[in-house]
Amino acid sequence: MDALPFLKMHGLGNDFVVVDAREKPLDLDTARVRAIADRHKGVGFDQMIVLETPPDPAADVFFRFLNSDGSEAGACGNGTRCVADLVMREKSRGDLRIQTIAGALAATRDKNGRVAVDMGPARLEWREIPLSHAVDTLHVPLASGPLADPVATSMGNPHATFFVSDIAAIDLAALGPGLEHHAIFPQRANIGVAQILDGATMRLRVWERGAGITLACGSGACAATVAAVRRGLLSARKARIIVDGSESADDALDIEWLANGHVLMAGPVALSFTGAWAR
């Protein structure tokens, strides 16, 4: 088996292995993905991102997202920003058109060098998320321990956001697995726990479907902002999201839910190292 070149990138500690399949297909069965994801014997990642030639000629690149358990994710906000930065540098451009299995995305670089992605429209209807049956997505009848009454949102992948008064008191590692696999989520779900710090700032932790707790979750930050706006918890349709990977309030994700329903996300990206998987 040929060695597999890769890049290791992260957005606020949400880390990714990036591989390029634009010139030829790669041997990436579930066993190999899980081996690379192993943080002790492999490289370690929250998601693997595979670059492919886009089926749509209007797009610049196709991104495929694989979780650390080998399952495929429909969306990954921080991963999209990281690899958009990479491809924009490759093409010497400040904008990019991206195709994913969840739809088309647009990325741009701002004057400060941060990468912003239009994550597309937030989906709020129970069938779109999807949920197993008709419920009010603003108040989903779901509870586990101290968590109750989440807001359900799809950002190309399903999210449930619980609002709490003290995020430090929530044992997300214990509660996340059961909620991810709850019967109300036929495709499982990402579980977010959010604390409103003020009318423009939130603290967020996320148990990611197929990956577990991550230091940041871009689509989760988008879902939490949409949920907070719907609940009337913010002073405007935007928020600064402080995550586990933030080193300060300025080291965060900036999310805005536009009037047209699309969600914009901006934040820092970093290239950690390059390498080759030899097995």
Determine which one of 86, 217, 228, 255 is catalytic: 217
Q: Compute φ and ψ for 236, nearest 5 degrees.
A: -150, 180
Q: What burial class does residue 85 get, using C-beta atoms within 10 Å of its C-beta: 0-12 exposed, 13-18 middle, 19+ buried? A: buried
Q: Which residues of 217-244 are buried (b: 16+ CB within 10 A; e: fewer)?
A: bbbbbbbbbbbbbbeebbeeebbbbbbb
DSSP letter string, 62-101: EEEEEETTSPEES--HHHHHHHHHHHHHHHT-SEEEEEET
Determine which one of 48, 49, 76, 102 is catalytic: 76
Question: How many alpha carbons lie under 13 Å from residue 209 in its C-beta half-sphere?
Answer: 27
* DSSP bridge partners of 15: 10
Structure tokens at 16: 């990714």
**Which of 268, 151, 155 shows the shortest CA–CA distance to 222?**
155
Q: Is 76 a catalytic residue?
A: yes
Q: Is 222 a catalytic residue?
A: no
Catalytic residue numbers, as ranges:
76, 217
